[in-house]
Amino acid sequence: MTVETAAGATPPDPELVQLLTPEGQRVPNERYDALIADITGDDVRSMYRDLVLGRRVDGEAVALQRQGELGLWASLLGQEAAQVGSARAMRDQDHVFPTYREHAVALCRGVDPVSLLALFRGVDQGSWDTVGTNFHLYTIVIGAQTLHATGYAMGIQRDGAIGTGDLERDAAVIAYFGDGATSQGDVNEAFIWASVTNAPVVFFCQNNQWAISEPLERQTRVPLYRRAAGFGFPGVRVDGNDVLACLAVTREALQRARDGEGPTLVEAFTYRMGAHTTTDDPTRYRLNAELEHWKLKDPIERVKAYMVRSDLADQEFFDSVERDAEELAVHLRAACRALPDPTPVSIFDHVYVEPTPDLVAQRDEMTTYLDSFALGGQASLGRDKFAEEVAR
């Protein structure tokens, strides 16, 4: 990749890996430049498109929630570069264990964003293909997914799918979580298990500096990435608003895992520009001046400035991406409103792969109860379908 390098430019924080300044200037880095040397102009344009589409999905979902179409939404606004950069570092065989905010990661892994809306609309419990995408279900319990990810990574290890040198076989796992989750016992237990078993997992912490209303200084006295040393594996802090830096750092961490070298903690230092969720009012606990300061570090504008500075795109390209984003928005609005409501007893359908006698009895009891409220048509329909499955 041909880049324009800012003469004498250095990251403002010596602990922070940064390859693009907020103004879009390329910062040389002896260690990480080689990890993105293969990135072409087409790759940068594709990442920019993912950043824009990810933000548009998020913006439309917030609007749909405000209009009463979704019960809740957790915004990713401001964290697009951390998600797209890390997602682009993965190979097809790698596995993702997300929180409830990794909408841009889902998009990069091929998950239909309508499936995300369905979850927050309350019409299903997560309907995307976790096998085809290797993007596992959203986890609402804070930090629990780090244990799931570590366990899955230990399984990959026992399957012999690391350290073989086979680019299409060796796999790794990445677990996403926020700065607040680092105070949870599950996360620290996952760190211990991953360390002592040398599990092929990358712990990707999006440090957006606010655990709902609790600021970072109430969570830790040292940078979060330094905690890794206490557990016996490396940690690195990256500019979470720099998509190239996030790509490079995550590539290195995932390859370490695939090579059998164990876990890494990546702290993507970013900022939550929106509310924690649509039930939150951030103006009650943080100053607007802080938000305005971080707007100057916007991850999308940073890449756009770099592309213009490096002659990687013209206005026609940017206009085409905006048209794609608008088309996606129109599709999302229509598809969300068209999502069918589930039958009340459909909650029993996916408890187990095969229905058990106890589950059948519980479903029949629920159906009888619903029938007593003149909901029999809908309830009985679900019961009959369930009975057919049991008979087979």
Cα distance between residue 14 and residue 322, in whole Å: 36
How many CB atoms are closer than 10 A to CB 169?
A: 14
Given the DSSP bridges, would you call strands 235-239 and 16-17 parallel, antiparallel or unpaired? parallel
The two tokens of residue 167 are 């680019």
The two tokens of residue 153 are 């990574």
**Which residues have CB under 8 Å from 31's CB, separation 6+?**
none
Torsion sign (Cα): 326, 330, 335, 336: positive
CA atoms within 13 A on the CB side of 348: 26
Three-class HEC string of 327-341: HHHHHHHHHHHCCCC
Per the rule left: phi > 0, alpha: psi between -120 and 50, beta: everything else, 122 is left
Q: Give me Rg for the CA atoms of the chain.
A: 22
Helix (H) or strand (E) holding 383: helix 376-391
**Cα 97 vs. chain centroid, distance in angstroms?**
8
Coil, strand or helix: which one is 373? coil
Percent composition of the chain: helix, strand, coil (DSSP 3-state, to 5): 50, 10, 40
Coil, strand or helix: which one is 90? coil
Phi/psi at 276 (5° precision): -60, -50
Task: State the catalytic residues.
Answer: 272, 276, 285
